Amino acid sequence: MDVIGAGLPRTATTTTLLAFEKLGFAPCQHMRDLLGDLEGQLPMWERVVAGEPDWEEIMGGARSCCDFPAARYYRELAEHYPNAKVVLSVRDAESWVRSMRDTVWAVYFGGSLMNHLCRARQHLDPLWDRYLTIMTAMLWDEDGALGGDTFDDASFAALFDAWNARVKRDIAPERLLVWKPQDGWAPLCEFLEVPVPDEALPSVNDTQAFIDGISTACINAISAAWAERPAAPGGLHGAAATRH
């Protein structure tokens, strides 16, 4: 492990993933790995939440990591990989709150269509239920990364600032880069001691892409579960459906 991303979700962590891999630190352990293989990945992260992590098993030879769930454990990972550098991706707190409200936060709270789809899938898909359970523990519980009042914008922003301050306290300055992705490649490449690529830093996974991706996955899972249900033998109330 060469690089550990400590930034919260919605601080351009997918851009960070692509940047790390472009710079030669591939593969990068990221939320995509968990969402892409819930059955295989969930047991490992459940053991982490239970206080029994096996970082070598989880990282599986990854040269970098970013985004949750890995970023939740930046301090433990930094201790386990003492030669790895740490990158804290940041953005303006107010814009972060707006982004979180419509994406990650809305998976769990707020009553949006995406929220209802996620809750419906939770009733039908045991793996999704387990995923929401561990992510709630990592993010929203009292000892989670953002445990506190997330319904008030100012309080939510304060939780964001507190997380960033915690990372700066925990990681030695010479080992840490506080990086605004809008600043581009230069500070990241200088910190990691690699050449600057001859292309623009990618900007991906905007709010609509997040909503579409999560909602589509939920719709597909709900449709699959519905198709497998024992169908009623008749129409409404057991009567054959007729046209008038």
Q: pLDDT per position in the chain (244 positions), as tens?
A: 999 999 999 999 999 999 999 999 999 999 999 999 999 999 999 999 999 999 999 999 999 999 999 999 999 999 999 999 999 999 999 999 999 999 999 999 999 999 999 999 999 999 999 999 999 999 999 999 999 999 999 999 999 999 999 999 999 999 999 999 999 999 999 999 999 999 999 888 689 999 999 999 999 999 999 999 887 776 666 656 555 4
Residue at 76 is within a domain: yes
pLDDT of res. 204: 83
CATH of the domain at 118: 3.40.50.300
Residue at 233 is within a domain: no
Residue at 232 is within a domain: no
Residue at 175 is within a domain: yes
89 touches 7 (CB < 8 A) = yes
Q: Determine the 3-state secondary structure of 86 from DSSP.
A: strand
169 touches 155 (CB < 8 A) = no
Q: Is 67 left (phi over 0), alpha (psi -120 to 50) or beta?
A: left
pLDDT of res. 236: 60
Residue at 144 is within a domain: yes
The answer to whether the bond into 27 is cis (omega within 30° of 0) is: yes
Q: What is the pTM of this model?
A: 0.93
Residue at 243 is within a domain: no
The domain in which residue 219 lies consists of 3-226
Total domains, the chain: 1
pLDDT of res. 239: 59
Residue at 235 is within a domain: no
CA atoms within 13 Å, Cβ hemisphere of 61: 1
Dist CA 40 CA 132 (whole Å): 16
Two tokens at 7?
């930034």
